[in-house]
Amino acid sequence: MSIDAATVRRIAHLARIKVEDGEIERLQGDMNSILGFVEQLKEVNIDGVEPMTSVTPMKLPMREDKVTDGGDAKKVLMNAPATEEGFYLVPKVVE
C-alpha cells in the first residue's frame, strides 16, 4: 500500500491537523515508511506466541470496585470547559 499526497491531506483533515503544502511530500514519505515497517511485521512467524501485555511478567494491582466522589455532580462538572443541563458539553467531531 502506498500513500499519495491526496491521502496525506485527507488524513490531516480528519485529524484536524494543519499541514502546509511544503510538508506533504515529507509526510507522504514518513507514512509510506511506517506502512513498509508494518508490512515487514506481517512476515514475522508468531505461531505459538502467547499474547502479552508487557515484556516482563507482572500482575496488575486490583482495587475494590466502589463509588467514591462521583455523587456530587457540581464538583465533577466544575473543571469542565462547557456544560449543559448537568452534562459535559463537547464539540461535534463527526460531520
How is 24-41 classified by DSSP, letter by letter?
HHHHHHHHHHHHHHHHHH
Q: How many CA atoms does the CB half-sphere of 39 hold within 13 Å?
A: 8
Burial environment of residue 94 by CB neighbours within 10 A (0 to 12, 13 to 18, 19 or more):
exposed
Kindly indicate the confidence band of residue 24, based on its pLDDT and cuts at 50, 70 and 90: very high
Residue 60, pLDDT above cutoff 90: no
- Secondary structure element (H or E) that encloses residue 13, with its range: helix 5-14
Report, in angstroms and rounded to the nearest whole number, the Rg of the chain calculated over CA atoms.
Answer: 22
pLDDT at 45: 93
* Range from 45-49, 53-57, 86-90 carrying the lowest mean pLDDT: 53-57
pLDDT at 52: 82
pLDDT at 8: 96
